[in-house]
A and B are shown apart, each in its own frame.
Chain A
Amino acid sequence: MNQTTEPITNRTAEEFLKGLWKENPVFVMVLGMCPVLAVTNTAINSLAMGLATMFVLVFSSLLVSLFRNWIPGPVRITTFIIIIATMVTVIDFLLAAVVPDIHKELGAFIALIVVNCLILGRQEAFASKNNVKLALADAFGMSAGFVFALFCIGAIREILGSGSLFNIPLFGSTFEPWVVMILPPGGFFTLGFLLLFFNWRKERKERAKEVI
């Protein structure tokens, strides 16, 4: 009994964890750059965007995985997009109803989750080939990694660009905010430095392995 269940749980955990770190969609695969650069000017916006993406990815993966045997190959991409677009519109309505202020801030970027290649990519590469349990683990892992990455960028940009985190001022009135950090260039700077850091770590690890 134990022999059959253990590898499966291990596999589920593995599929979940890979998205968080080893195959992080932003820092490693560099997917979904549009929201990563555009709406990460505050920590709260980043979190909201990440969670909206999580909702879409998890439900899309669930549906695609459930129906994977009924969807014929030639129309699979079209079907995935129908599913994704439906989920995006649902979350768009829900955000407008429940958190109108955040919905206003994110504006068109909610609707643009449809074209986030992270989501379609996971459907094609994973959910359409695996069972529901693994697909959900993969979707939760990948979107948790996405939320984490967005939050890192958003927090750095808000701290430097507005001198606050979650709208709570961190420094005294003597702090002169770096306005550039909450403007579009700040997104590129922050992402660039974070990618530099992650690649540097990766390279160092690989070199350490080679030595061994």
Chain B
Amino acid sequence: MDDIKNTTTLEPSSSRLIATLGIAGLLSGLLLVGAYLYTLPMIEANKAAALERAIYKVLPSCTSFETLVLTDGKLDVLKEVKAAAGSKPPKAIYAGHDDAGKLVGFAIPSDEPGFQDVIAGIMGYQPETKTIVGFEVLDSKETPGLGDKIIKDQAFTVQFESLSVEPVIVSVKKGEKKNPNEVEAITGATISSKTVVKLLNKGIGEWKGAIEGYLKTQ
């Protein structure tokens, strides 16, 4: 039946074509909006949970944290105001406290272009001793088997449990670490290793002054 119809009506009218695509587009749009609204809270909860896990990991004795943002050049606790939809949330760092409420350090997110794509990470910073006490990669697309050793290679990651940030962090070849501010790079993943170092320096450089100012007011 349909075959006959198709062969007899040679060319469907253009309004029919437009209507078909219009309706298909409309239904598709509705479905997409529905799926987006349905999954958005879950996706945001996932992201928040991943960030929270990372904060507790990079600040070992931390049991609670508050979000700090820069307002007028000074660090301040983020007021619980829902950002308008679509606007980027302000850059923030996280102040971690232990059970007794004592400040144990700051979790500072930072990112830097790596070998394949931007590597995003979060570091735990101890302002009193000026050391990094933990580091977690939040997002990276580094080469599996080589660049992703920045996450998987224990010998590399353990270096961030105590790393001096003064004067700056530098990367050295494997087996040549002498000073507390040196990181041994991974053989075969030099760019990824160096990116991690750059990322750390960038994060510290960006927030060090603000953190010192914040500590004075406390």
Q: How far is the CA of A78 from the CA of B17 in the complex (A)?
A: 10
Selected interface stretch from B55-63, B142-150, B200-208 = B142-150
Tell whether, in the assembled complex, residue B25 and residue A107 are in contact, meaning their CB atoms are under 8 Å apart: no
Within 8 Å by CB of A83, from B28, B50, B144, lies B28
**A73-B6, A100-B50, A107-B141 as given contacts; A94 in contact with B28, CB under 8 Å:** no
Q: How far is the CA of A86 from the CA of B21 in the complex (A)?
A: 13
Tell whether, in the assembled complex, residue A98 and residue B42 are in contact, meaning their CB atoms are under 8 Å apart: yes
Q: How far is the CA of A161 from the CA of B146 in the complex (A)?
A: 12
Tell whether, in the assembled complex, residue B17 and residue A89 are in contact, meaning their CB atoms are under 8 Å apart: no
- Does B215 reach chain A (CB closer than 8 Å)? no
Separation in Å of the B119 CB from the closest CB of chain A? 13
- Does A41 reach chain B (CB closer than 8 Å)? yes
Tell whether, in the assembled complex, residue A72 and residue B43 are in contact, meaning their CB atoms are under 8 Å apart: no
Within 8 Å by CB of A89, from B32, B139, B143, B144, lies B32
- Looking at A71, A82, A94, A183, the one whose CB has the most chain B CB atoms below 10 A away is A82
**A75-B20, A79-B24 as given contacts; A97 in contact with B2, CB under 8 Å:** no
Tell whether, in the assembled complex, residue B43 and residue A93 are in contact, meaning their CB atoms are under 8 Å apart: yes
- Does B175 reach chain A (CB closer than 8 Å)? no
Residues on B with beta carbons closer than 8 Å to the beta carbon of A86:
28, 31-32
Separation in Å of the B47 CB from the closest CB of chain A? 8
Residues on B with beta carbons closer than 8 Å to the beta carbon of A69:
2
Quick one: closest A residue to B42, CB to CB?
A: A97
- Does B82 reach chain A (CB closer than 8 Å)? no
Interface flags for A84-100 (1: CB within 8 Å of B; 0: not) read: 01100110011011101
Q: How many chain-B residues does the 8 Å CB contact rule pick out?
A: 28
- Does A115 reach chain B (CB closer than 8 Å)? no
Q: How far is the CA of A75 from the CA of B12 in the complex (A)?
A: 10
Tell whether, in the assembled complex, residue B46 and residue A75 are in contact, meaning their CB atoms are under 8 Å apart: no
Pair count A-B, CB < 8 A:
67
Separation in Å of the B196 CB from the closest CB of chain A? 18
Q: How far is the CA of A78 from the CA of B22 in the complex (A)?
A: 11
Residues on A with beta carbons closer than 8 Å to the beta carbon of B32:
86, 89-90
Separation in Å of the B23 CB from the closest CB of chain A? 9
Within 8 Å by CB of A79, from B2, B16, B20, lies B20
Of residues 123 to 169 in A, which have CB atoms within 8 Å of B's CB atoms?
161-162
Quick one: closest A residue to B34, CB to CB?
A: A90
- Does A49 reach chain B (CB closer than 8 Å)? no
Separation in Å of the A65 CB from the closest CB of chain B? 13
Tell whether, in the assembled complex, residue B28 and residue A182 are in contact, meaning their CB atoms are under 8 Å apart: no
- Does B187 reach chain A (CB closer than 8 Å)? no
Tell whether, in the assembled complex, residue B43 and residue A89 are in contact, meaning their CB atoms are under 8 Å apart: no
- Does B39 reach chain A (CB closer than 8 Å)? yes
Within 8 Å by CB of B39, from A78, A94, A162, A183, lies A94
Within 8 Å by CB of B146, from A75, A79, A179, lies A179
- Does B100 reach chain A (CB closer than 8 Å)? no
Tell whether, in the assembled complex, residue B21 and residue A82 are in contact, meaning their CB atoms are under 8 Å apart: yes
Tell whether, in the assembled complex, residue B46 and residue A97 are in contact, meaning their CB atoms are under 8 Å apart: yes
Tell whether, in the assembled complex, residue A82 and residue B25 are in contact, meaning their CB atoms are under 8 Å apart: yes
Tell whether, in the assembled complex, residue B141 and residue A72 are in contact, meaning their CB atoms are under 8 Å apart: no
Separation in Å of the A148 CB from the closest CB of chain B? 23
Tell whether, in the assembled complex, residue A83 and residue B24 are in contact, meaning their CB atoms are under 8 Å apart: yes
Tell whether, in the assembled complex, residue B17 and residue A85 are in contact, meaning their CB atoms are under 8 Å apart: no
**A75-B17, A78-B21 as given contacts; A182 in contact with B43, CB under 8 Å:** no
10 contacts between A and B (CB under 8 A): A71-B20, A75-B20, A86-B28, A86-B31, A90-B32, A96-B46, A100-B46, A162-B145, A179-B145, A182-B145
Q: A100-B47, A179-B145 are in contact. List 10 more A-B contacts (CB 8 A).
A: A41-B144, A70-B20, A72-B16, A74-B12, A79-B24, A83-B28, A89-B32, A89-B35, A93-B36, A97-B46
Chain A interfacial positions (CB closer than 8 Å to B): 41, 69-75, 78-79, 82-83, 85-86, 89-90, 93-94, 96-98, 100, 104, 107, 161-162, 177, 179, 182-183
- For the complex of A and B, 4 pairs with smallest distance between CB atoms: A97-B42, A97-B39, A72-B12, A93-B39
